[in-house]
Amino acid sequence: MPLLVMKFGGTSVADLARIANAAEKVRREVERGYDVIVIVSAMAGKTNELVGWVEQTSPFFDAREYDAVVSSGENVTAGLMALRLQEMGIPARSWQGWQVPLLTTSAHSAARIEEIPRANIDRKFAEGMKVAVVAGFQGVSREGRITTLGRGGSDTTAVAFAAAFDAERCDIYTDVDGVYTTDPRIESKARKLDRIAYEEMLELASLGAKVLQTRSVELAMRYKVKLRVLSSFEDNDETSGTLVCAEEDIVESKVVAGVAYSRDEAKMTLISVADRPGIAAAIFGPLAEAGVNVDMIVQNIAEEGRTDVTFSCPVGQVKHAERAVMAAREKGTIQFSELVADTDVAKVSVVGIGMRSHAGVAARMFSALAAEGINIKVITTSEIKISVLIDRKYMELAVQALHDAFELDKAA
């Protein structure tokens, strides 16, 4: 039997009616002759609620218990989806991550998938089951504890299953009808892309475009999974949505493919750090150990042996970062006069494979921001992206200005 993976995100399973709507889409594929693995997210808002409960109970929580709690939203939707399909006369069964088992590292709250043994699900398909419904986002470590794959992780569950089961395609059903040049909720002129290269999608995702989890794109690229993003609220056909594919499979392309943003960033500056060899390691080692995802880093030129070191991280990790840095100062491994946190910043980025061979993208980006009077606080670049840190209140404006500056509303 040919096999499809269909993933439904939170808004697509937000209530019983939406689950029924998603189940209809599954039925259509079963009628076309597919065996289907359905991956479900928790109902919209559920994971946030669970995270909130954990944080209220324990500010510096034990990540194993965090995973035990926040993985539970998907258990509900997986069971309900299987029940709904059974009601429609379709042989279906649900699996939680540990039952598959979807084996992961033990990096709780950000675990990586190591292996998906096929035997249990294959046996059921062989017995006549048509649909396996798998709870997204969760797995089990070799120690036997429940793990989660990081926010948005159901996308990664879906792609990993598509790779493990040689699926014909992995369809990601969500609340937009594809990948756009930027978030259509921020820029109404955003244009839907028919195709986007894995590399560009990877950058957009890692820079904040949450339509796909970064890791899912990485896996799709590595295992050449045909990955499609489409709407769960529309009627679709073979050409619907956006196909994430190899660069060679794209005919038209622009220098800049899209604009991404990340709203909840923070900028932290250690003032007057005693500059000496090893200082960066002394600062960023403890931050890494505390699980802080440091993104941009700037170290100023030292004067009289003192310098300022600035880094950015997700705003939700500021407390952890402060704690780690202060502990290092108490131990005497780093010396500085002050730690200043700016929690009102956002990151805006432009991404495009064309930047490899075109100069002038940075200049165009900076002048578009300058024309709006937006001050740039930190800049980083790579081969195919440029990111800036700015005041959060200008984020929408910056996205729109850049979308205009690179004429992303117009087809290539």
Give contact residues for ligand ADP (rule: CB under 6 A).
9-12, 41, 152, 174-176, 179-180, 182-185, 209-211, 258
Nearer residue to ligand ADP within complex by CB, 163 or 179: 179
By DSSP bridging, strand 138-141 and strand 195-197 are: unpaired
The residue number with the shortest CB distance to ligand ADP is: 9
Using the structure block, give the residue that is written with the tokens 């992206």: 385
Q: Which of 152, 178, 241, 258 lies at the binding interface for ligand ASP (CB under 6 A)?
A: 152
Rounded to the nearest whole angstrom, what is the least distance from the CB of residue 75 to ligand ASP in the complex? 11
Nearer residue to ligand ADP within complex by CB, 75 or 300: 75
Nearer residue to ligand ASP within complex by CB, 42 or 346: 42
Q: Hey, which residues between 70 and 109 contact ligand ASP (CB under 6 A)? A: 73
**Coil/strand/helix, residue 373:** coil
For residue 28, CA distances in Å to 23, 36, 113, 236 come to: 9, 11, 30, 11
> Among Mg ion, ligand ADP, ligand ASP, none, what does residue 96 contact (CB within 5–8 Å per kind)?
none
Looking at residue 301, the DSSP 8-state letter turns out to be: P
Rounded to the nearest whole angstrom, what is the least distance from the CB of residue 154 to ligand ADP in the complex? 7
Burial class (CB in 10 A: 0-12, 13-18, 19+), 291: middle
Nearer residue to ligand ADP within complex by CB, 210 or 306: 210
Q: List the structure tokens of 347.
A: 């990151």
Nearer residue to ligand ADP within complex by CB, 229 or 270: 229
Contact 293, 207 (CB under 8 A): no
Q: Hey, which residues between 23 and 42 contact ligand ASP (CB under 6 A)? A: 41-42
Stretch that binds ligand ASP, among 14-22, 148-156, 269-277, 336-344 (CB under 6 A): 148-156
Contact 35, 123 (CB under 8 A): no
Does residue 208 belong to the site contacting Mg ion (CB under 5 A)? no
Give the number of residues in contact with ligand ASP, rule: CB under 6 A: 13
First to last CA, the chain: 39
Q: What φ, ψ does residue 377 adopt, rounded to 5°?
A: -95, -40
Among left, alpha and beta (phi > 0; psi -120 to 50; other), residue 10 is: alpha
Rounded to the nearest whole angstrom, what is the least distance from the CB of residue 34 to ligand ASP in the complex? 23
Looking at residue 312, the DSSP 8-state letter turns out to be: E
Where along the sequence are the contacts to ligand ASP (CB under 6 A)? 9-10, 41-42, 47, 73, 136-137, 151-155
